[in-house]
Protein backbone atom coordinates (compact mmCIF):
# COMPACT_ATOMS: atom_id res chain seq x y z
CA UNK A 1 0.00 0.00 0.00
CA UNK A 2 2.86 2.43 0.81
CA UNK A 3 4.37 1.97 -2.67
CA UNK A 4 1.02 2.67 -4.32
CA UNK A 5 0.45 5.72 -2.12
CA UNK A 6 3.92 7.05 -3.01
CA UNK A 7 3.22 6.54 -6.71
CA UNK A 8 -0.03 8.51 -6.41
CA UNK A 9 1.86 11.33 -4.71
CA UNK A 10 4.45 11.36 -7.48
CA UNK A 11 1.77 11.35 -10.18
CA UNK A 12 0.31 14.42 -8.47
CA UNK A 13 3.74 16.10 -8.34
CA UNK A 14 4.18 15.91 -4.56
CA UNK A 15 7.92 15.98 -3.88
CA UNK A 16 9.85 14.14 -1.15
CA UNK A 17 10.60 17.21 0.95
CA UNK A 18 9.15 18.21 4.30
CA UNK A 19 6.48 16.46 6.27
CA UNK A 20 3.60 16.61 3.78
CA UNK A 21 3.92 13.09 2.38
CA UNK A 22 4.58 11.32 5.70
CA UNK A 23 1.81 13.33 7.41
CA UNK A 24 -0.62 12.46 4.64
CA UNK A 25 0.26 8.76 4.82
CA UNK A 26 0.08 8.70 8.63
CA UNK A 27 -3.44 10.10 8.48
CA UNK A 28 -4.42 7.71 5.71
CA UNK A 29 -3.32 4.52 7.52
CA UNK A 30 -4.05 5.95 10.97
CA UNK A 31 -0.41 5.51 11.92
CA UNK A 32 1.88 7.57 14.10
CA UNK A 33 4.05 10.32 12.66
CA UNK A 34 7.51 9.89 14.22
CA UNK A 35 10.49 12.21 14.35
CA UNK A 36 13.96 10.78 14.54
CA UNK A 37 17.15 10.57 12.55
CA UNK A 38 18.38 9.04 9.32
CA UNK A 39 21.98 7.86 9.33
CA UNK A 40 24.06 9.47 6.58
CA UNK A 41 27.62 8.52 7.60
CA UNK A 42 29.29 7.09 10.69
CA UNK A 43 28.90 10.39 12.58
CA UNK A 44 26.37 12.35 10.50
CA UNK A 45 22.62 12.08 10.86
CA UNK A 46 19.74 14.02 9.35
CA UNK A 47 16.61 14.86 11.33
CA UNK A 48 13.86 12.86 9.64
CA UNK A 49 10.13 12.09 9.78
CA UNK A 50 8.49 8.74 9.08
CA UNK A 51 5.29 6.83 9.87
CA UNK A 52 4.94 3.84 12.19
CA UNK A 53 2.05 1.46 12.53
CA UNK A 54 2.01 -1.93 14.22
CA UNK A 55 5.80 -1.85 14.60
CA UNK A 56 6.44 -1.21 10.89
CA UNK A 57 8.26 1.91 9.66
CA UNK A 58 7.04 3.62 6.48
CA UNK A 59 9.46 6.20 5.08
CA UNK A 60 7.30 7.99 2.53
CA UNK A 61 9.94 10.59 1.62
CA UNK A 62 12.44 7.82 0.85
CA UNK A 63 9.89 6.02 -1.32
CA UNK A 64 9.16 9.24 -3.21
CA UNK A 65 12.87 10.01 -3.59
CA UNK A 66 13.40 6.58 -5.12
CA UNK A 67 10.52 7.09 -7.56
CA UNK A 68 11.72 10.54 -8.62
CA UNK A 69 15.31 9.40 -9.04
CA UNK A 70 14.79 5.85 -10.35
CA UNK A 71 16.70 4.45 -7.37
CA UNK A 72 16.67 0.89 -6.11
CA UNK A 73 14.16 0.24 -3.33
CA UNK A 74 16.83 -1.54 -1.35
CA UNK A 75 18.76 1.60 -0.42
CA UNK A 76 20.33 0.98 2.99
CA UNK A 77 18.67 3.75 4.98
CA UNK A 78 18.50 3.29 8.72
CA UNK A 79 16.15 5.24 10.93
CA UNK A 80 16.80 5.92 14.61
CA UNK A 81 14.73 7.54 17.33
CA UNK A 82 17.88 8.32 19.33
CA UNK A 83 21.42 8.90 18.04
CA UNK A 84 24.75 8.36 19.78
CA UNK A 85 26.37 11.31 21.52
CA UNK A 86 28.86 13.49 19.64
CA UNK A 87 27.16 13.11 16.28
CA UNK A 88 26.48 15.84 13.77
CA UNK A 89 22.76 16.33 13.26
CA UNK A 90 21.49 18.19 10.21
CA UNK A 91 18.12 19.93 10.47
CA UNK A 92 16.31 22.11 7.98
CA UNK A 93 14.58 24.87 9.94
CA UNK A 94 11.61 25.15 7.57
CA UNK A 95 10.85 21.44 7.93
CA UNK A 96 11.17 21.61 11.71
CA UNK A 97 8.70 24.55 11.59
CA UNK A 98 6.28 22.40 9.54
CA UNK A 99 6.60 19.62 12.15
CA UNK A 100 5.94 22.07 14.99
CA UNK A 101 2.86 23.51 13.27
CA UNK A 102 1.51 20.05 12.43
CA UNK A 103 1.82 18.97 16.07
CA UNK A 104 0.38 22.23 17.40
CA UNK A 105 -2.56 22.56 14.98
CA UNK A 106 -3.04 19.93 12.27
CA UNK A 107 -5.89 21.83 10.61
CA UNK A 108 -3.80 24.99 10.40
CA UNK A 109 -0.91 22.99 8.93
CA UNK A 110 -3.12 21.65 6.11
CA UNK A 111 -4.45 25.17 5.47
CA UNK A 112 -0.85 26.39 5.14
CA UNK A 113 0.10 23.98 2.33
CA UNK A 114 -0.54 24.65 -1.34
CA UNK A 115 -3.90 24.15 -2.98
CA UNK A 116 -2.41 21.34 -5.11
CA UNK A 117 -1.38 19.43 -1.99
CA UNK A 118 -4.79 19.83 -0.35
CA UNK A 119 -6.54 18.72 -3.55
CA UNK A 120 -4.21 15.75 -3.94
CA UNK A 121 -4.86 14.69 -0.35
CA UNK A 122 -8.60 14.90 -0.86
CA UNK A 123 -8.45 13.03 -4.18
CA UNK A 124 -6.25 10.23 -2.83
CA UNK A 125 -8.30 9.76 0.35
CA UNK A 126 -11.54 9.55 -1.63
CA UNK A 127 -10.08 7.25 -4.26
CA UNK A 128 -8.30 4.73 -2.04
CA UNK A 129 -10.82 4.26 0.77
- Give the pLDDT confidence of 42-56 residue by residue, as tens digits: 888 999 999 999 999
pLDDT grade for 117, boundaries at 50, 70 and 90: very high
pLDDT at 74: 60
**Rg for the chain, CA atoms, rounded:** 15
Q: Chain centroid to CA 110: how far?
A: 15
pLDDT grade for 69, boundaries at 50, 70 and 90: confident
DSSP β-ladder status, 88-90 and 79-80 = unpaired
- How high does pLDDT run on average in the chain? 89
Assess contact for 30 and 51: CB atoms under 8 A: no
pLDDT grade for 92, boundaries at 50, 70 and 90: very high
Assess contact for 45 and 39: CB atoms under 8 A: yes
**C-alpha span between 67 and 90 (Å, rounded):** 24
Q: Kindly list the domain boundaries of the chain, sorted by start residue.
A: 2-128
**Percent of the chain scored above 70 by pLDDT?**
94
**C-alpha span between 74 and 34 (Å, rounded):** 21
- 86: how many CB neighbours lie within 10 A of its CB? 6
Amino acid sequence: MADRFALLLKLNKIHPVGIVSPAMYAEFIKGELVQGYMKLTQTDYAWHIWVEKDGVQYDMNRLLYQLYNNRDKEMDIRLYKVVPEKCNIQKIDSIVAEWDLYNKDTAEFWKSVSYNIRETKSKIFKGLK
